[in-house]
């Protein structure tokens, strides 16, 4: 089972990366812009979102090739969000995935433009996909706008920035991560389901599933921040509570956050049981996301 999942992840990651890099390579754009876009695309992401698009097609026994453009598009959007999030006017980070951030290498203006380029090209990837009907393209683009725009990730980022100077309630934190993290993961799942022509009722269940998976993903991220920090400098567990950053462990304690993570994963897995098809792969991906170490 573990081997099958590892093989799935490895082989799909390769396909996605091939599709991403060949797409950027073909763009008729200034080389420095393509270099900046490629720099962050190549920087070693896990490719969870594009893998989810393909996993949905796999779940409904459809050809995964029809999802490659949409899978690449969601990774472009994710990469843009990371580049912009790292900018001095946002989180002001020097490192991402252990490498200098985009603006550290290419300068702030080029990093803004690389993000803009990635975001805009994502729509072109979907709009020009020869494998899917115009109706599906419109549905998928509408889902992407909802997930990534003002009502989704961008809105979540604004709420996050707003909350930086106060202590948030669990509901406020939940709003931030539903929008900032869960919506784009959800887009990957719903777009995959649309491409796979999943039944309408399944799509409803998958929206609920995405919410729980997305929040679980974020809680795991917060836990990793603490446990990683502890490994590096030997801080006691839960020491993040002294830090003003609002996280699940800072609001719920580390143990409480772990329990919340388990509750969301259990809920996500129970929703999968309601689908019209067996969802072993999604179930395994859910486990992986909840227990990931990076």
Count CA within 13 A, CB hemisphere, residue 175. 12
Contact positions with ligand GRG (CB under 6 A) in 232-291: none
Which lies closer to ligand GRG via its Cβ, residue 137 or residue 157? Answer: 157
For the chain, the C-alpha Rg in angstroms (whole number) is: 19
Contact positions with ligand GRG (CB under 6 A) in 116-155: 153-154
Angstrom distance (rounded) from CA 124 to CA 215: 29
Which lies closer to ligand GRG via its Cβ, residue 145 or residue 154? Answer: 154
Among residues 48, 140, 144, 193, the one that binds ligand GRG under rule CB under 6 A:
48
Q: Which residue sits closest to ligand GRG, CB atoms considered?
A: 45
- Binding of ligand GRG by 181 (CB under 6 A): yes
Among residues 46, 62, 99, 258, the one that binds ligand GRG under rule CB under 6 A:
46
The token pair that represents 100 in the structure block: 């200098």
Angstrom distance (rounded) from CA 4 to CA 9: 9
Angstrom distance (rounded) from CA 77 to CA 122: 7
Residues in binding contact with ligand GRG, number by CB under 6 A: 16
Which lies closer to ligand GRG via its Cβ, residue 66 or residue 223? Answer: 223
Which lies closer to ligand GRG via its Cβ, residue 132 or residue 153? Answer: 153
CB of 217 to ligand GRG, least distance (A): 6
Which lies closer to ligand GRG via its Cβ, residue 91 or residue 208? Answer: 91
* Helix segments in the chain, DSSP class H: 2-26, 31-41, 48-59, 68-86, 102-106, 108-127, 134-148, 153-162, 170-177, 183-195, 200-233, 248-252, 254-272, 280-291
- Binding of ligand GRG by 42 (CB under 6 A): no
Strand partners, 95: 100
Angstrom distance (rounded) from CA 94 to CA 117: 21
Angstrom distance (rounded) from CA 116 to CA 76: 10
Strand partners, 99: 96
Residue linked to tokens 């996050």: 160
Among residues 24, 36, 45, 250, the one that binds ligand GRG under rule CB under 6 A:
45
Strands annotated E in 219-270: none
Among residues 14, 27, 97, 169, the one that binds ligand GRG under rule CB under 6 A:
97
**Residues 182 and 210 sit within 8 Å (Cβ to Cβ):** yes
Angstrom distance (rounded) from CA 121 to CA 136: 18
Among residues 64, 85, 143, 178, the one that binds ligand GRG under rule CB under 6 A:
85
CB of 165 to ligand GRG, least distance (A): 18
Instruction: Name the segment binding ligand GRG (CB under 6 A); options: 83-91, 164-172, 205-213, 281-289.
Output: 83-91
- Binding of ligand GRG by 82 (CB under 6 A): yes
Interface residue list for ligand GRG (CB under 6 A): 45-46, 48, 81-82, 84-85, 90, 97, 153-154, 157, 180-181, 218, 221
């Amino acid at each position: 089972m573990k081997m099958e999942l590892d093989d799935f992840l490895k082989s799909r990651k390769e396909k996605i990366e091939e599709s991403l890099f060949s797409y950027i390579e073909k763009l008729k754009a200034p080389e420095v812009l393509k270099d900046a876009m490629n720099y962050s695309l190549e920087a070693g992401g896990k490719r969870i979102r594009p893998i989810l698009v393909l996993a949905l097609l796999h779940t409904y026994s459809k050809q995964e090739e029809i999802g490659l453009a949409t899978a690449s598009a969601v990774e472009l959007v994710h990469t843009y969000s990371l580049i912009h999030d790292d900018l001095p006017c946002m989180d002001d980070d020097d490192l991402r995935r252990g490498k200098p951030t985009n603006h550290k290498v290419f300068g702030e203006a080029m990093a803004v433009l690389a993000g803009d380029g990635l975001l805009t090209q994502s729509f072109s990837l979907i709009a020009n996909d020869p494998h899917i009907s115009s109706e599906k393209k419109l549905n998928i683009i509408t889902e992407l706008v909802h997930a990534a725009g003002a009502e989704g990730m961008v809105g979540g980022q604004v709420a996050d920035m707003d909350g930086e100077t106060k202590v948030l309630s669990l509901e406020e934190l939940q709003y931030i991560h539903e929008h900032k993290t869960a919506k784009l993961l959800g887009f990957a799942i719903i777009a995959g389901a649309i491409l796979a022509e999943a039944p309408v009722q399944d799509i409803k269940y998958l929206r609920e599933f995405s919410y729980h998976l997305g929040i679980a993903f974020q809680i795991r991220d917060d836990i990793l921040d603490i446990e990683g920090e502890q490994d590096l400098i030997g801080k006691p567990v839960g020491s993040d509570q002294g830090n003003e950053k609002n996280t699940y462990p800072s609001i719920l304690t580390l143990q409480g956050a772990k329990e919340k993570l388990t509750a969301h994963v259990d809920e996500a897995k129970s929703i999968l049981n309601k689908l019209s098809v067996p969802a072993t792969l999604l179930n395994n991906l859910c486990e992986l996301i909840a227990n990931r170490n990076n």
